[in-house]
């Protein structure tokens, strides 16, 4: 049994490594444009290298780093805002409304506990580290585990070099591995509770040991979520166990705009590689032309002849034939505007791919509030469509993982209604944009109704219900509405005061 499981784990790891081989060059080039000093050794079978990649100084543009960081900011803002509960529990399919009403407050209280634990941990800080530059490349991995019951939940970013993944039977990420090289002297600290194989234990303290944590779905129980975990130490199976339930897998992998045939996502940085190459070439040529324009080369009379086989360099002097005249400027001028405008167009296209093309107002007239809101709604819709898979694979799984850990700690109890588990409904940024547009349309309808039909609209529109609907659409939890009966009494009191005769109230003769 142990030998078969070890063989199965090694075979799955080999297949996952083949998936990365197909995108290795794209990932390495993306690193060059976004994090030029980041080691571009991404094969997990090699020990880590700390030296800076040769050629990092050759990068001539910083647009890749800029848009990649902006894209990470947009992802956090659209899917996982730090100060907003971006996921909530709702009734499962087929659960009657009256039964759900009985546990709704308990579900909301559990959700608050989840986000309390999430913000007490290092999730937000580690997420920011993970997204740059991995999210722009298209694949992000987080390792969320419960190290100590009395300590905050631990979150670790798994870089692409350590991550190996493969597609499962339904087009989602199934096999997932973390591969790390650890010194023999630190092995016991890294592998707590795992028996070190005798062959590995005999190695020298400074020897590198390959440690592999593997997880994959056990489809022999299709009615339940079961994950198989293995720990391989130098390709020897040292530990194995199974986890059950949603959120039980600690290794979470999110992909941006993936396909069902390949494991890794297709992020905007990979899509922008052709444009980034051209931008880098134009930027380099423009810089060279500026250098020559500022310090042009010059020629001087000499007994030699001019030779430009090696090109012209800024500030250099070149000998000319005798009797060629005085010292003269050598500057073969080009059109700098051509490179400038081409560069601007390409940078605009790259920003659009990274959803960093923020609303701009041509001219001096400032944009109106409605115009700005329209632009932002359009941007949220764009990021919501390719990000649907990312939302389900990362934010929702993070939420489920924290619920699972808190349930294991006994902080929250498994929520059920009439024997059925409560499903989780994700809060989608595209839906948020749609709700904002609904509020905007409702505002226009109210303006028209009150402008053209003031008396009729006042009698026809239920103001309290309308305000409550707008509050729910915008997700506001700050404004507190009074009880409808209390509002009715206050309005009647105000109307009575307005209808009092001033003479009777002592205000006149």
Q: Is 156 a domain residue? A: yes
Mean pLDDT of the 122-140 span = 93
**Looking at residue 364, what DSSP letter applies?**
S
Tally the domains of the chain.
2
The string of DSSP codes covering 134-189 is HHHHTEEEEEEE-S-TTSPPEEEE--TTTEEEEE-TTSSEEEEEEEEEEEGGGHHH
394/446 same-domain check = no
State residue 27's pLDDT score: 93
State residue 89's pLDDT score: 80
362 alpha-carbon distance from chain centroid: 30
Q: Is 174 a domain residue? A: yes
Residue 24 confidence (pLDDT) above 80: yes
Residue 144 confidence (pLDDT) above 90: yes
Report field, pTM of the whole predicted structure over 0.95: no
130/31 same-domain check = yes
Mean pLDDT of the 457-464 span = 83
481/390 same-domain check = no
115/199 same-domain check = yes
Q: Is 366 a domain residue? A: no
- Which residues fall within 8 angstroms of residue 239, CB to CB, at 6 or more apart? 191, 193, 194, 195, 229, 230, 231
> Minimum mean pLDDT among 84-88, 235-239, 432-436: which range?
432-436
By percentage, how much of the chain surpasses pLDDT 70?
Answer: 75
State residue 505's pLDDT score: 47
By percentage, how much of the chain surpasses pLDDT 90?
Answer: 35
Q: Is 364 a domain residue? A: no
Q: Is 446 a domain residue? A: yes
Q: Is 252 a domain residue? A: yes
Q: Is 507 a domain residue? A: no
402/436 same-domain check = no
- Report yes or no: 182 and 48 within 8 Å, Cβ to Cβ: no
How many Å apart are CA 300 and CA 415, to the nearest integer? 88
Kindly report the three-state secondary structure assignment for every residue of 475-501: CCCCCCCCCHHHHHHHHHHHHHHHHCC
Residue 114 confidence (pLDDT) above 50: yes
159/186 same-domain check = yes
471/400 same-domain check = no
> Minimum mean pLDDT among 201-215, 238-252, 301-315: which range?
301-315
Q: Which of 421, 439, 469 is the last residue of a domain?
A: 421
**Looking at residue 247, what DSSP letter applies?**
T
Which residue has tokens 């409702």? 442
State residue 150's pLDDT score: 82
Taking residue 262's Cβ as centre, other Cβ atoms within 10 Å add up to 15
**CA separation (Å) from 196 to 178, 206, 211, 374?**
18, 16, 11, 59
217/262 same-domain check = yes
Report the run of H or E that residue 416 belongs to, with start and end: strand 416-417
274 alpha-carbon distance from chain centroid: 22
State residue 439's pLDDT score: 84
Mean pLDDT over the full length of the chain: 81
401/482 same-domain check = no
Tens-place pLDDT, residues 41-53: 888 887 766 555 5
Q: Is 340 a domain residue? A: no
57/159 same-domain check = yes
Tens-place pLDDT, residues 219-264: 988 778 999 999 999 999 999 999 998 899 999 999 998 888 889 9
Residue 422 confidence (pLDDT) above 70: no
390/477 same-domain check = no
Q: Which of 250, 57, 237, 66 is nearest to 153 (CA)?
A: 250
Tens-place pLDDT, residues 314-325: 656 666 666 656
45/125 same-domain check = yes
Q: Which of 375, 398, 421 is the last residue of a domain?
A: 421
Domain that holds residue 457: 428-498
Mean pLDDT of the 467-476 span = 78
**CA separation (Å) from 405 to 117, 118, 240, 413?**
10, 11, 20, 11
220 alpha-carbon distance from chain centroid: 33
**180 CB burial (10 A radius; 0-12, 13-18, 19+):** middle
Residue 356 confidence (pLDDT) above 60: yes
Mean pLDDT of the 450-474 span = 83
Residue 309 confidence (pLDDT) above 70: no
State residue 489's pLDDT score: 82
State residue 60's pLDDT score: 79
Q: Which of 362, 397, 421 is the last residue of a domain?
A: 421
């Amino acid at each position: 049994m142990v030998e078969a499981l070890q063989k199965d784990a090694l075979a799955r790891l080999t297949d996952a490594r083949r998936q990365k081989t197909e995108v290795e060059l794209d990932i390495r080039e993306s690193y060059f444009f976004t994090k030029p000093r980041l080691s571009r050794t991404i094969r997990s079978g090699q020990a880590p290298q700390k030296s800076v990649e040769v050629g990092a100084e050759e990068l001539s543009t910083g647009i890749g780093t800029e848009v990649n960081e902006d894209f990470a900011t947009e992802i956090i803002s659209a899917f996982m805002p730090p100060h907003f509960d971006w996921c909530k529990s709702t009734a499962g399919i087929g659960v009657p409304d009256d039964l759900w009403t009985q546990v709704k407050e308990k579900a909301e209280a559990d959700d608050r506990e989840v986000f309390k634990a999430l913000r007490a941990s290092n999730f937000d800080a580690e997420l920011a580290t993970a997204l740059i530059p991995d999210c722009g490349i298209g694949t992000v991995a987080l390792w969320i585990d419960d190290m100590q019951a009395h300590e905050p939940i631990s979150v670790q970013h798994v870089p692409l070099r350590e991550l190996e993944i493969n597609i499962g039977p339904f087009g989602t990420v199934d096999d997932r591995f973390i591969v790390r090289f650890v010194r023999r002297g630190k092995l016991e600290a890294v592998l707590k509770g795992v028996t070190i194989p005798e062959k590995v234990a005999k190695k020298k303290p400074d020897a590198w040991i390959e440690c592999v944590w593997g997880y994959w779905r056990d489809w022999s129980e299709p009615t339940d979520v079961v994950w198989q975990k293995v720990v391989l130490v130098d390709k020897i199976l040292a530990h194995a166990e199974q986890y059950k339930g949603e959120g039980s897998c600690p290794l979470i992998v999110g992909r941006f705009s993936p396909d069902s045939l390949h494991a890794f996502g297709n992020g905007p940085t990979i899509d922008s590689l052709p444009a980034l190459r051209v931008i880098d070439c134009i930027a380099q040529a423009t810089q060279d032309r500026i250098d020559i324009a500022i310090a042009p080369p010059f020629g001087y009379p000499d007994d030699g002849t001019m030779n430009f086989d090696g090109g012209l360099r800024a500030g250099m002097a070149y000998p000319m034939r005798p009797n060629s005249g005085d010292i003269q400027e050598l500057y073969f001028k080009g059109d700098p505007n051509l490179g400038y405008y081409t560069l601007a167009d390409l940078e605009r296209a790259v920003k659009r791919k990274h959803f960093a093309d923020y609303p701009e107002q041509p001219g001096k007239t400032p944009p109106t509030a409605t115009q700005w809101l329209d632009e932002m709604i359009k941007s949220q819709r764009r990021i919501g469509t390719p990000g649907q898979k990312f939302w389900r694979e990362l934010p929702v799984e993070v939420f489920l993982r924290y619920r699972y850990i808190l349930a294991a700690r006994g902080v929250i109890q498994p929520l059920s209604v009439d024997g059925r588990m409560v499903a989780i409904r994700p809060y989608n940024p595209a839906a948020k944009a749609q709700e904002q547009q609904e509020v905007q349309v409702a505002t226009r309808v109210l303006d028209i109704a009150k402008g053209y039909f003031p008396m009729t609209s006042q009698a026809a529109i239920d103001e309290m219900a309308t305000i409550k609907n707008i509050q729910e659409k915008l997700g506001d939890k700050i404004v507190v509405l009074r009880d409808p009966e209390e509002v009715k009494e206050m309005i009647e009191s105000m109307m009575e005061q307005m209808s009092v005769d001033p003479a009777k109230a002592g205000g006149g003769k």
